[in-house]
Amino acid sequence: MEEHKKGQVIGYARVSSTDQKLDVQLDQLAAIGVDKVYAEKASGADVERVELSAMLDYVREGDTVVACKLDRIARSTAHLLSIVEKLNARGVTLKVLNIDLDTSSPTGKLMLTMLGAIATFEREMMLERQADGIAKAKEAGKYIGRKATAKAKSPEVIELLGQGMTKEAIATKLKIGVASVYRIAKEHKSCC
């Protein structure tokens, strides 16, 4: 197990899908001199993100977690506040670069709660507009639906796991997220 120096700056970067790039976030985190980065390609709505969980397990008192944008770390107010509560319990500060948020100050804590609520509102409005658009497209007979997700590759994932392949290698081979491979493995274990 690696040694944890006191007062580290830990970066967290996330994009929603495997075809998106982490480069911009990783460059921003490198520019401020983070000691360690946790990065993943996973939906923000997924509260069981592998790298987020690993980061929350890793941080220690005196550390600072840095994310480039608020919606990279959480997509709902409840999840955001849950993360901040876990960080606070460990004596860890959260900083969000694009809005200059710092939870070590009372103003930062207030701002965080307000921004989390606004982000949730905006996401709900976007989902509502999206649902309206899909309904209109269906009425017009133009809605095709989205491409198959990682779940459609479950049989392949289970077969490759059975062959002893690592979860990371499976994700790369099947061009799906590592978190999806973990989720499929977990679901397979619980049902079988």
What's domain 9-115's architecture? 3-Layer(aba) Sandwich (3.40)
164: left (phi over 0), alpha (psi -120 to 50) or beta: left
Same fold, 9-115 and 150-191: no
| pLDDT at residue 181, rounded to an integer | 92
Q: Where are the domains of the chain?
A: 9-115, 150-191
76 is catalytic: no
**Token pair for 153:** 């590759």
| pLDDT at residue 147, rounded to an integer | 67
Task: Report if pTM > 0.75.
Answer: no
What's domain 150-191's architecture? Orthogonal Bundle (1.10)
Across the chain, which has 192 residues, the per-10-residue mean pLDDT values are 81 89 95 96 82 95 95 82 90 93 88 79 89 89 75 88 91 89 86 65
| pLDDT at residue 86, rounded to an integer | 93
Let me know how long the chain is.
192
Q: Which of 16, 43, 76, 82 is catalytic?
A: 16
